[in-house]
C-alpha cells in the first residue's frame, strides 16, 4: 500500500462522467510502490473484521483519477500520486456526506487503538502507515489515512467508497490482501488492511533478481490465476493487474493489492471506463470499446511475459496515452519454450472472445501440465525456496554475469530477507 521514488513515467487513464461522456484526467509522475515488512495474525485481530463482509452493492463507473510515469525499455513502477485538472467544488458543512455507509462514523475501533510505527507510502489523498495494535504490539496492520477535503475537491467520493465496497465484499483468500475495517472522523477516512509481511512487491523482486525462470513463472502464474478467479467469481473486475500491485509475503507467495480501479461486474456484463496502466492495458480498453472480465486475463498475460522476458510484449514503452498503444509485433526471446509462447498467444489474443479467461481453461494448457494446482493453492510449494536455489545455480550469460560472482549476487539480493525468513521459521 506504499510507494517510493521512481524514474518511470506512466499513464493510468480513467475516463468517465455522470452523463456517460468520457473525459480524461491527466496525472503527474510520482513514486513507485514498495511494501515494507511487517506481520499480522488475522485471528488475533478478528474483532477488526466484524463488519468486513457486509457490503455486496454494485458500484458505478465514475472514478476520476489517473497516473503517469516515464517509460523505458523495461517495466517501471506505477505512479500513485495524481492531480486532477478541473475546478474546485464547494461541499456541505457535514464532511461525512457521501462517504457512508462504507466509512461509518462509529466503529469497533478507532485510530487511537493503534500505534503508528512509520509511513510506508503516500498517495493522492493521504498516507499509508505500518501500525500495531496497542493491546497487542506484535500484531501489525496497514492503516490508510485519507483527507476528506482533498477527496471532495477532486470529486472522488465514489471511487474511494467503491474500493471499500469491493474489499468488504471479499472473504479471506490466500492470494488477496484482507480488508479489516474502515471508519471516518470529521476530517479523515481510515481503512485498515492486512499488512503483507515479505519482500515487497513482485516488481521489486524482479528488479533485484532479474528475469524469472519458467518454473517460477509457472508457480506465480497458478497463484495469480487462482486469486483472479476468486475476484471474478465474486463479480469483481480489477483493471490494474501488474507486478507493482502484487505484494509478496514472507515466503514470497503473492497477494493482490490496490483495488483503486476495481468495480463490481457480472460475468456477462460490460463496462467502458478507460483506466489502468498503459503497458498492461487490453486493446478493447485502449480503443474505447465496451469490455468485460477478459481484460484482467490480458493484464495477467502481460505480467507473465514481463516476468519471463524482462520487456513488454508490444512496443508501447514510449506511449503517452491510450490512443498511441499498438498491439502488433509481439516477439519472444529464444530462451522461451514453445509451451510458454503458446500460452501467451492465447492470453494475449486481440479478440477477447478467443482469450483464455479463467483458470480452468488456463490450466489445460501444456505449460501447466503435471503441475500440482491443489498443492500450490495450499502453498505447499514455497517460491522463496525455489528462488534461493535458482539464484545459487542459475546460469548467467556473460553480459549478465553479476559483479562479484553468484554468491555475492545472492548475498546482495537475499541475505537480509533470508534472516527475516529464518527468524519467522524458528518462532
Q: How would you write 48-63 as a 3-class SS string?
A: HHCCCCCCCCCCCCCC
- Give residue limits of the domains in the chain: 4-194, 200-384, 395-426
Least confident interval from 119-123, 157-161, 283-287, 392-396: 392-396
Instruction: Please provide the DSSP assignment of 46-111 as one string.
Output: GGGGTTTT-------S-----B--B--SS--PPP------S------SSTTTTTTTTS-S--S--G
Distances (CA, A) of 293 to 60, 86, 223, 267, 290: 16, 31, 18, 7, 11
- What is the Cα–Cα distance from 336 to 330, expressed in whole angstroms? 13
Highest-confidence range of 13-17, 101-105, 226-230, 380-384, by mean pLDDT? Answer: 226-230
Fold match between 4-194 and 200-384?
Answer: no
Cell, residue 194: 492486512
Compute the Cα dihedral for 24, 27, 32, 35 and give only its sign. negative
List, in sequence order, every beta strand (DSSP E) within 148-237. 179-184, 188-194, 200-201, 236-237
Domain at 200-384: CATH code: 1.10.510.10
User: How much is the average pLDDT of 77-91?
Assistant: 34
* Reported pTM: 0.73
User: How much is the average pLDDT of 297-309?
Assistant: 96
Give the angle subtended at the CA of 67 by the CAs of 66 and 69, to the nearest 5°.
Answer: 155
pLDDT in tens, 57-79: 444 444 433 333 333 334 444 33
pLDDT in tens, 342-378: 999 999 999 999 999 999 999 999 999 999 999 999 9
**Residue 121: is its pLDDT beyond 80?**
no
Cell, residue 59: 458500484
Residues 6+ apart with CB under 8 A from 204: 34
- 316: pLDDT confidence band, cut at 50, 70 and 90? confident
Cis before residue 101, ω within 30 degrees of 0?
Answer: yes
Binding site for ATP, by residue number, is: 144
Q: What is the model's pLDDT at position 91?
A: 45
DSSP state of 307: H
DSSP state of 394: P
**For this structure, is 201 an active site residue?**
no
The catalytic residue among 12, 61, 229, 240 is 240
pLDDT in tens, 201-217: 999 999 888 889 999 99
CB 217 within 8 A of CB 304: yes
- 53: pLDDT confidence band, cut at 50, 70 and 90? very low
Name the CATH superfamily for 4-194: Phosphorylase Kinase; domain 1 (3.30.200.20)
Q: What is the model's pLDDT at position 409?
A: 52
Residues 6+ apart with CB under 8 A from 62: 16, 17, 18, 158, 159
Highest-confidence range of 121-130, 157-166, 385-394, by mean pLDDT? Answer: 157-166
- 198: pLDDT confidence band, cut at 50, 70 and 90? confident
- 422: pLDDT confidence band, cut at 50, 70 and 90? low
Q: If we measure between CA atoms, which residue out of 111, 119, 127 comes closest to residue 38?
A: 119
Amino acid at each position: 500500500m506504499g510507494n517510493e521514488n521512481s524514474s518511470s513515467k506512466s499513464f493510468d487513464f480513467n475516463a468517465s462522467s455522470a452523463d456517460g461522456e468520457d473525459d480524461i484526467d491527466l496525472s503527474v509522475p510520482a513514486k513507485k510502490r514498495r511494501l515494507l515488512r511487517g506481520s499480522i495474525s488475522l485471528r488475533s485481530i478478528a474483532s477488526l473484521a466484524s463488519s468486513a463482509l457486509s457490503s455486496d452493492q454494485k458500484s458505478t463507473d465514475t472514478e476520476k483519477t489517473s497516473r503517469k510515469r516515464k517509460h523505458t525499455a523495461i517495466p517501471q513502477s506505477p505512479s500513485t500520486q495524481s492531480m486532477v485538472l478541473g475546478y474546485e467544488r464547494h461541499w456541505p458543512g457535514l464532511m461525512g456526506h457521501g462517504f457512508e455507509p462504507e466509512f461509518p462514523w462509529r466503529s469497533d475501533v478507532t485510530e487511537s487503538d493503534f500505534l503508528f510505527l512509520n509511513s510506508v507510502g503516500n498517495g493522492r489523498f493521504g498516507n499509508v502507515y505500518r501500525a500495531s495494535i496497542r493491546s497487542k504490539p506484535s500484531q501489525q496492520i496497514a492503516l490508510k489515512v485519507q483527507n476528506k477535503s482533498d477527496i471532495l475537491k477532486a470529486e472522488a467520493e465514489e471511487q474511494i467508497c467503491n474500493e471499500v465496497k469491493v474489499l468488504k465484499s471479499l472473504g479471506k483468500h490466500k492470494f488477496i490482501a484482507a480488508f479489516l475495517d474502515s471508519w471516518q472522523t470529521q476530517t479523515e477516512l481510515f481503512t485498515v488492511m492486512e499488512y503483507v509481511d515479505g519482500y515487497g512487491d513482485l516488481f521489486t523482486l524482479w528488479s533485484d533478481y532479474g528475469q524469472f525462470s519458467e518454473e517460477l513463472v509457472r508457480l506465480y502464474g497458478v497463484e495469480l490465476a487462482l486469486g483472479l478467479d476468486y475476484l471474478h467469481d465474486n463479480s469483481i473486475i480489477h483493471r490494474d493487474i501488474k507486478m507493482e500491485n502484487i505484494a509478496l509475503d514472507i515466503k514470497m507467495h503473492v497477494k493482490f493489492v490496490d483495488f483503486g480501479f476495481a468495480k463490481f461486474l457480472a460475468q456477462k456484463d460490460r463496462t467502458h471506463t478507460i483506466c489502468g496502466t498503459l503497458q498492461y492495458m487490453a486493446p478493447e480498453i485502449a480503443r474505447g470499446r465496451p469490455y468485460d472480465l477478459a481484460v484482467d486475463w490480458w493484464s495477467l498475460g502481460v505480467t507473465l511475459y514481463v516476468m519471463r522476458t524482462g520487456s513488454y510484449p508490444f512496443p508501447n514503452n514510449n506511449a503517452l496515452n491510450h490512443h498511441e498503444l499498438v498491439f502488433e509485433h509481439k516477439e519472444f526471446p529464444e530462451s522461451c519454450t514453445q509451451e510458454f509462447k503458446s500460452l501467451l498467444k492465447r492470453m494475449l489474443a486481440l479478440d477477447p472472445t478467443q482469450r483464455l479467461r479463467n483458470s480452468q481453461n488456463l490450466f489445460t494448457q501444456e505449460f501447466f501440465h503435471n503441475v500440482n494446482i491443489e498443492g500450490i493453492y495450499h502453498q505447499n510449494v514455497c517460491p522463496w525456496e525455489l528462488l534461493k536455489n535458482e539464484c545459487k545455480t542459475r546460469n548467467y550469460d556473460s553480459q549478465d554475469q553479476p559483479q562479484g560472482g553468484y554468491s555475492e549476487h545472492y548475498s546482495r539480493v537475499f541475505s537480509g530477507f533470508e534472516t527475516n525468513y529464518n527468524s519467522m521459521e524458528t518462532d
